[in-house]
A = this chain, B = another copy of it.
Amino acid sequence: MLTDLGTPAGQVPLAADRAQTARRVLKSARTPESALMPADRVPPWLAEQARRGEYRVTPVPFAMLRGWDFEESGGNLRHESGRFFSVEGLHVLADALPAPGWRQPIIVQPEVGLLGIVAREIDGVLHFLMQAKMEPGNVNAFQLSPTVQATRSNFTGVHRGRGIPFLDLFLERGRSRVLVDVLQSEQADWFLAKRNRNMIVEIDEDVDTGEEFRWLTLGQLLRLLRRDNVVNMDSRSVLACLPTAGGDPEQDPDPAAAAVLRSFHDPAAPSVNGMTDIHSWLTGIRALRELDQRRVPLREVAEDGWRFSGTEIGHDSGRRFRVIGADVAASNREVGSWTQPMIQPQVPGLMALIVKRIRGTLHALVQARVDVGHLNVAELAPTVHCRPADHVGPGSEPFPPYLMDVLTAPRRRLRYDAVQSEEGGRFYHAANRYAVVEAPDDFPEQPPADYAWLTFAQLTELMAHGNYLNVELRTLVVCAYALH
């Protein structure tokens, strides 16, 4: 037994009332512009950050990774310090797989990172302090990231990096007020049970932010989310966790607008399923599906079609992903240059959420999805969560439900459609298409067993806890917020 470990975590902090926070969040969402920094100036500002610094990302053979080696015994790819992360093998047994299961490479990172946004009320409106940050995997280098984005290794010093600005506001008691603090999952086909701590803390006093940070309202961030590759995955994940409430849909003469407001801001809105229904449905899937995960030596994945070369580990089928090495130089990161393994997907994904007005409330059709790296068997995922190219050609899997509905949806039904990057610290040029598709009136309301209609307030309520919504669905919840 590991009782009484003692030191960290501190005392229970001063937190804000969730309903009150929700009302202030809505006001910020309805503030599409701020005197401090017009939203349209954000992309040029990000480009300027890129010009100010030197940065360069080069795929390199594994032999050129400094401090990283394939272990003698088993062949796991690890850092000599034992920290950061490792690429290992995962043996998965699950209902959908052949009896012996399959083995694949997976990123193992038991450390929980911190994704933290500092908030402050400026002129009566909540603003969020966003950072222009270079991530090696980004197609465009700089995107808007949380105020603090750090692995535990970053801040416990193994990284030997410079001090991380604003970290103390998240880790020290009494420096700020907690608005959001929850562990959320990351990509489950590449990570084994990875979670990050998603935090928003509020301060009352102004702070010196410097050139790499800007205060933006939620309304501005929602506008920027309509563009490709501006708001990074970590920011989307944290913002998705903001509580919602306090809208007044009865005041809105437009039924479509009222349906959105009601869905996001009224937990008691008419809904297809009550929360007890929803919990029971998900519990049933988690209880009856089989998902047995076992870490195995990386070398063993060769027996399931993975090929090792000096420059990559990829699958014979040409599908899935590749593990590669990268050499990164960046003048404005804590550490000026480094090398690391990265995951590169072979083809882009499509993450689409079908929404429909039912009983006057906008509902989202979500699936309970079982994925190889899940901590808790199943999480709620977008209606369509796949890589379309994997479903054509010889040896491909059949089309998943609703993929054709999304691919053939007329443009006017695409309420949101943009390309967004996945985490640029581990994934190289991983960008997915994210879409919110409004279903036609005759769209069937009775879904297959693994799918259910939820309101956005119900999704938001679940996000007060970890491992209910996967990271792709969290992104789509924020994107849908922009429907207001």
Contact = CB atoms under 8 A, between A and B. Distances in A.
A331 interface: no
B279 A181 contact: yes
Contacts of A285: 8-9
A186 to B, nearest CB: 14
Interface string A154-198: 000000000000000000000000110111000001000000010
Contacts of A8: 284-285, 288-289, 449
A371 to B, nearest CB: 6
Which interface residue of A1, A16, A278 has the most chain B CB atoms within 10 A? A1
Nearest to A398: B4
A427 to B, nearest CB: 15
Contacts of A295: 294-295
B288 A152 contact: yes
A401 B12 contact: no
Contacts of A9: 281, 284-285, 288-289, 368, 449-450
Interface in A357-405: 367-372, 375-376, 385-386, 398, 400-401
Given A3-B386, A9-B285, A197-B283, A15 B274 contact: yes
A60 to B, nearest CB: 29
Interface in A420-468: 446, 449-450, 452, 464-466
Contact of A96 (B2, B13, B197, B369): B2
Contacts of A182: 279, 283
8 contacts: A2-B97, A2-B291, A8-B289, A12-B277, A15-B277, A16-B276, A110-B291, A110-B292
Contacts of A273: 12
Contacts of A288: 8-9, 112, 152
Given A8-B288, A465-B465, 12 more contacts: A2-B372, A3-B386, A6-B96, A9-B281, A9-B450, A10-B284, A15-B277, A112-B288, A178-B277, A294-B295, A295-B295, A376-B466
Contacts of A292: 110
A139 interface: no
A286 B450 contact: no
Contacts of A368: 9
Given A18-B275, A449-B10, A287 B114 contact: yes
A95 B152 CA distance: 14
Given A112-B286, A287-B112, A178 B10 contact: no
A347 interface: no
Interface string A291-303: 1101100000000
Nearest to A462: B465
B371 A279 contact: no
A365 to B, nearest CB: 12
Which interface residue of A95, A111, A189, A449 has the most chain B CB atoms within 10 A? A449
Nearest to A284: B9
A466 B283 CA distance: 9
Copies in the complex: 2
Pairs A-B, 8 closest by C-beta atoms: A15-B276, A181-B280, A112-B287, A197-B287, A9-B285, A15-B277, A9-B284, A110-B292
A7 interface: yes
Interface of A: 1-18, 92, 94-97, 110-112, 114, 152, 178-179, 181-183, 189, 197, 272-281, 283-292, 294-295, 367-372, 375-376, 385-386, 398, 400-401, 446, 449-450, 452, 464-466
A33 B14 CA distance: 45
A189 B4 CA distance: 15
B181 A283 contact: yes
A12 B289 contact: no
A7 B370 CA distance: 13
Given A16-B276, A17-B276, A178-B276, A5 B281 contact: no
A280 B112 contact: no
Nearest to A198: B283
Contacts of A367: 3
Given A10-B284, A12-B452, A276-B181, A5 B96 contact: yes
Contacts of A401: 4
Contacts of A284: 8-10, 181, 197
B15 A280 contact: yes
A291 to B, nearest CB: 7
